């Protein structure tokens, strides 16, 4: 009896230890939080450039966010060699508050066109007021899938695309919603990098396969994280609580409670 109890206790300890090991700072490459009033990467790999009315707002999910007018505003994040890890595996996490969901208005994506062939490294985009389309493209294959009735306008939603080298998964908050294609979707590495193309926040290019037919996001986004690995279920669930990785807070000079460090406050006081 004592041996059985010991085995049960040991098994429970191992389970809890395994769950506790999840670290949402591990593998972070870039983080765009908009806290500095710009679209800077907290880790310095690639700072975003605001175009045509993209504006930092105080109404983000966690502090400041980036707002888009749905007309022509977007953020361009130039390619960086740090992003080359996406050829093998990666994850992208983002919070979005959509006012009006348009057909293939990009929330976050990278490529030449947001669909209609293997034209993107990754995408998370709206297709309507309730639907999201996702994907990652291996060489020669358009790896995409759609999920319907997964979000509501004017509400914050956490979206996470995980790509582990074998399959692609789209998470909405803590759920993996069903898809008419497949979610998870089998799509093996290597993935196409599109080195000549930036990440873009707030825009989808070439809708319908037609160059110049672009769709712009009407809404606000926040806390965009790029990882060099496929996140686990536990890690996605932690991010969906609104947790900011400790490594991001450290890079921003923010204390454990999410407050700007004293030095930053003093700097602002002297402006």
Looking at the predicted structure, is the pLDDT value of residue 250 above 70?
A: yes
Long-range contacts, 210-213 (Cβ 8 Å, 24+): 211/113
Looking at the predicted structure, is the pLDDT value of residue 27 above 50?
A: yes
pLDDT digits (tens, 9 = 90+) for 85-117: 999 999 999 999 999 999 999 999 999 999 999
Q: Is 130 exposed, middle or buried (0-12, 13-18, 19+ CB in 10 A)?
A: middle
Range with the poorest average pLDDT among 12-26, 90-104, 127-141, 154-168? 12-26
Closest CA to 197 of 144, 251, 137, 248: 137
Chain centre to alpha carbon of residue 245: 13
Residue-level pLDDT at 158: 98
In this structure, what token pair is assigned to residue 91?
A: 């994850």
Closest CA to 129 of 151, 158, 146: 151
d(CA 57, CA 99): 15
Would strands 144-147 and 90-100 be described as parallel, antiparallel, or unpaired? unpaired
Chain centre to alpha carbon of residue 47: 16
Which residues, listed in sequence order, are joined to residue 145 by a DSSP beta bridge?
134
User: How many residues in total does the chain contain?
Assistant: 271
Q: What is the mean pLDDT of residues 18-37?
A: 85
Residue-level pLDDT at 13: 36
Closest CA to 229 of 37, 91, 45: 91
| Model pTM score | 0.88
Q: Is the peptide bond before 79 cis (omega within 30 degrees of 0)?
A: no
Q: What is the mean pLDDT of residues 248-270?
A: 56
Which residue intervals of 180-261 are DSSP H helices? 233-239, 246-252
d(CA 211, CA 221): 25
Residue-level pLDDT at 254: 81
Would strands 49-51 and 90-100 be described as parallel, antiparallel, or unpaired? unpaired
Which residues, listed in sequence order, are joined to residue 158 by a DSSP beta bridge?
95
CB of 23 closer than 8 Å to CB of 52: no
């Amino acid at each position: 009896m004592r041996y059985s109890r010991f085995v049960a206790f040991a098994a429970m300890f191992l389970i809890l230890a395994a769950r506790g090991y999840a670290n949402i700072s591990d593998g972070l490459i870039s983080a765009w939080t908009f806290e500095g009033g710009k679209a800077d990467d907290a880790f310095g790999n690639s700072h975003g450039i605001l175009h045509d009315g993209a504006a930092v707002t105080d109404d983000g999910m966690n502090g400041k966010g980036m707002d888009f007018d749905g007309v022509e505003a977007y953020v361009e994040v130039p390619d960086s060699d740090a992003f080359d890890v996406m050829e093998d595996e990666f994850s992208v996490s983002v919070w979005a508050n959509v006012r009006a969901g348009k057909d293939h208005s990009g929330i976050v994506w990278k490529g030449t066109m947001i669909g209609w062939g293997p034209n993107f490294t990754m995408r998370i985009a709206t297709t309507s007021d309730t639907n999201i389309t996702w994907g990652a493209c291996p060489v020669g294959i358009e790896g995409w899938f759609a999920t319907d009735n997964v979000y509501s306008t004017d509400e914050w939603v956490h979206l996470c695309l995980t790509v582990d080298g074998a399959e692609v998964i789209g998470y909405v908050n803590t759920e993996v919603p069903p898809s008419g294609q497949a979610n998870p979707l089998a799509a093996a590495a290597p993935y196409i990098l599109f080195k000549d193309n930036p990440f873009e926040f707030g825009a989808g290019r070439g809708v319908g396969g037609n160059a110049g037919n672009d769709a712009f996001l009407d809404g606000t986004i926040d806390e965009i994280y790029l990882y060099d690995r496929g996140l686990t279920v536990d890690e996605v669930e932690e991010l969906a609580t609104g947790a900011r990785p400790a490594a991001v807070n450290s890079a921003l000079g923010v204390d454990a409670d999410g407050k700007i460090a004293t030095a930053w406050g003093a700097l602002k006081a002297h402006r």
